[in-house]
Structure 1
Amino acid sequence: MTKVWLACFGLFSAALAHAQETETTGDIDVPSPWNSEVEFGYQAHSGNSESESLNSRIDAEYIRGRHRTNGEWKFYLLYKDGEEDKRQSSYSLQTDYKLSPKTYLYGSFSGIDSRYSAYYRDYTFSGGVGYQFTNTDTLLLEVEIGPGYRYQEPNLDEIDDDDIVFPDIVEEAIFRGKVNSKWQVVDNLALGATFTLVSGHSNTRIDTDLNATNAITEDIALKLAYSRQYHDRVPEGLQNSDSIFSVNLLFAF
C-alpha cells in the first residue's frame, strides 16, 4: 500500500498548492473562484484477522459568472489477511451554464473502475437541464435530467471459483436523473445526499451518496460518508449492490 499512499500524497500536495492561489486585481485581493477539498481515511485491524483499508477523495469546484465546473476523484482499497479484497476508483467531471437564476444546462462524465463488481469499467456521458429549487447558504436542492450514452466493460476475472459476470460489452443510449441536496443544519454540521439514476436497455444503476460533515476548525472537518452502487441485473450468485462506509478527515481550501 506504500505506492498508494505516495500517490495520494502527491495528489494532495498538488491540490493544496493550487487551492492556495488567489486572483489579484491592482492592490485588491479577489477571492479565488476555486474551492477544493481533500479527504483521507485509513484503518488497520489485527488479531484473529488482519485488514487494512484506505480511502481518499479529492474535489475541486470552479465558479465564475454563469459557469460552474466540478471535478471529483474517489479511491477505496481494502486488504484482508494480506490479500487485496476490494479496489475501486470513481471520478466525475461536470460543467454547468446558468440560463436563469434557477435553471441551467449541464454536461457530465462519470466513471467507475472496480475489480470486484459486475462491471470492471462503467462510464457515463450525459447532457441535459437542471433546476435549483433552492440555493442558499443553508439549503441546496437541485434536480437534473437528460439523455446520454453508457459504456460498460464486464469484469471477466473470476469473482469466485465459478462465478463469471455477463460477458457482453454494453454500449447504449441512457436516461440520467440526479437529485443533489445539502443542508447546513448548524454552523459546524452539514448533511448531504445525492441520488443518481442511469437507466438503459441492458440494466439500471442507482448511486446513493450520503454524508455528514462536522467542522472541527475553519479548514478541517470530520466526515462520515456512505456510498452505495446498485445494479438491477447481475449474474446469479452475485449481489446487486456494493457499498462503502468511511470515516475521513476533510481539509477544505
Structure 2
Amino acid sequence: MLKTPYWLPLPLLLVAPQALALVPPEYKEPEDRLDAEVELGLQFTSGNSESSNFNGRGKLVYDADAAKHETVLKAYFASDNQSTTAEQYTLEYQLDYKLGGSNYIYGRSELLWDKFGSFTRQQIYSAGYGSTLVDRRHTKLSLEVGGGYRYNEPNLTDADQGGRRSTDEGIARFSGKFSQRLHEYTTFNTEGAVETGNRNTVATLKMSIRNQLWADLALKIGTDLKFTDRVPENSERTDIISTVNLLYTF
C-alpha cells in the first residue's frame, strides 16, 4: 500500500495563506451600475390583405452616485400592400442630479419625428425638480415638475395657414412614474406627463404589463396614448399605439 509522503502537504500550507490574501473575506463583487434592455415586435399578414408593422425600443440607464443617466430610443413602422401608413422615431434623454435622499434636479430632452402624425417634428427641452415619494421593494412612485421649451412643425402643406410651418413656445411640465409588482414575475408600469403652453397642451400616458418568461427574456404588452389639444385641420387629436413585444434585458 502506497503512503503519502510526509512532505507533500507543505507546499499547500505555503500557498494557502497567499491565496486567501488575494481574496479577502470582506470582498464583494463590484456593483453593476449599467442596465440595458431591448424590445422588438413584428407582425405580418398575407392573403386577401397584406400588411406589416414593426416596433422597437432600446433603453440604457447608468446610475452613478451623483447622477442618473437614462436614454430611450423608439421606432414604429407600418405598411399595407399599397403604401406606408405609419413611420415614427423618438429619442429621449434625461439626467437626474441627486440632491440627497429622494430628491433630484432633472434635465430632459425629447426629439420626435412622425411622418404621418399631426406634427411631423417636435423638439422638447425641460428642466425641473423631482422626488421619489415611494421606493419600496414592490412599489415605486416619483413626481416631477418643471418648465422648458417646445418646437412644433405641423403636418401641413405650404398653402395651409399662409405657409406658416412651425411654432415654438415656453411650457410648464408635470409628470409622474409608477411601478407595481403584481406577482413574482409580473410588473405593471405607467408613466404620464402634461406639457402645456400658451399655444398648445400635450398629454401622454404610457402603460405596460411585463411578464418574465425565463432568465432575461420577458413578454411586454403596452399602450401609448398621446392627446394634443390643438392640431392641424383634418388631423386627429388622439394617437394610440398598442404593442406586444419580446423584451430582453442585459
Asked if residue 203 in structure 1 is aligned to residue 200 in structure 2, the reply is yes
- How far residue 235 of structure 1 moved from its aligned partner, in angstroms, is 2.8
Provide the residue aligned with 1:218 in structure 2: 215
What CA distance in whole angstroms lies between the structure 2 residues aligned with 1:223 and 1:37? Answer: 12
Q: How big is the shift at 1:81? A: 1.5
In structure 2, what is the equivalent of residue 53 of structure 1?
53
Shift of 1:207: 1.1
Unpaired runs of at least 5, structure 1: 1-25
2:243 is aligned with 1:250: no
> d(CA) in 2 for partners of 1:172 and 1:164?
18
Q: How does 1:57-76 map to 2 (within 5 A)?
A: 57-76=57-76
- What SS does the aligned partner of 2:233 have? coil
**Are the counterparts in 2 of residues 150 and 172 from structure 1 also a CA contact under 8 Å?**
yes
Q: Which residue of 2 aligns with 1:170?
A: 167
Structure 1 position 137, deviation (Å) = 2.6
**In 1, Cα distance between equivalents of 2:88 and 2:55:** 9
Partner-residue secondary structure (3-state), 1:99: strand
- Closer, same or farther in 2 for the Cα pair 1:28/1:165, shift >3 Å? farther
Distance 1:43 1:165, change over 3 A: farther
Query: Which piece of structure 1 moves more, 129-138 or 69-78?
Result: 129-138
Per the alignment, in what secondary structure is the counterpart of residue 30 of structure 1? coil
Matched, 1:141 2:138: no
Give the counterpart of 2:184 among 171, 187, 193: 187
CA drift at 1:252:
0.4
* Equivalent position of 1:240 in the other structure: 237
Structure 1 match to 2:38: 38
CA gap 1:167/1:49 in 2 versus in 1, 3 angstroms? farther
Q: Measure how far apart 1:241 and its partner are.
A: 1.1
- Say whether the 8 Å CA contact 1:166–1:235 is kept in structure 2: no
Give how far 1:179 is off. 0.8
Task: Give the counterpart letter for 2:136 in structure 1.
Answer: T
- What is aligned with 2:14? none
Q: TM-score, normalised by structure 1?
A: 0.84
Q: Please say which structure displays the higher CA radius of gyration.
A: 2
CA distance in 2, matches of 1:242, 1:225: 14
Name the amino acid aligned to 2:112: I
Amino acid at match of 1:124: I
Identity of aligned residues (%): 28
Taking the aligned partners of 1:147 and 1:246, their CA distance within structure 2 comes to: 31
Pairwise CA distance, 1:48:
2.0
Deviation of the 1:174 alpha carbon: 0.6
CA distance in 2, matches of 1:76, 1:177: 26
Counterpart residue number, 1:6: none
Instruction: Measure how far apart 1:136 and its partner are.
Output: 2.3
Tell me the TM-score normalized by structure 2. 0.85
Which consecutive unaligned segments of at least 5 residues does structure 2 have? 1-23
- Following the alignment from structure 1 to structure 2, what is the Cα–Cα distance between the partners of residues 57 and 170? 29
